[in-house]
Amino acid sequence: MSLILNYMVDEHNEGSTLGKFLTQQQLSKKAVIALKHRGGKFYVNGEVRTTRWQLDNKDLVTVIFPDEIASDTLKLIKMNLNIVYEDEFLLVVDKKEGMPVIPTGSHEQALANGILAYYKEIGLKSTVHFVNRLDKGTSGLLIVAKYRHIHHLMTADFAHIKRRYYALVAGMLDGAGVVEAPIFRPEMTSIKRIVHEKGQHAVTHYEVVKRLPTSTLVKCTLETGRTHQIRVHMAHLSHPILKDSIYGDGLEEEQQLLHSYFLEFTHPITHKKLCFESGIPDRFEIKR
List the catalytic residues. 135
Q: For residue 159, what is the DSSP state?
A: G
CA 206 distance to own-chain centroid: 21
Q: Which 3 state secondary structure label does DSSP give 98? A: coil
**What is the 8-class DSSP label of residue 12?**
G
**Cβ distance 88 to 53 under 8 Å?**
no
Q: Are strands 183-184 and 90-95 parallel, antiparallel or unpaired?
A: unpaired
What does the longest C-alpha to C-alpha distance in the chain come to?
A: 70
Between CA 59 and CA 53 the distance in angstroms is 12
Residue 117 neighbours by CB under 8 Å, 6+ apart: 76, 77, 78, 79
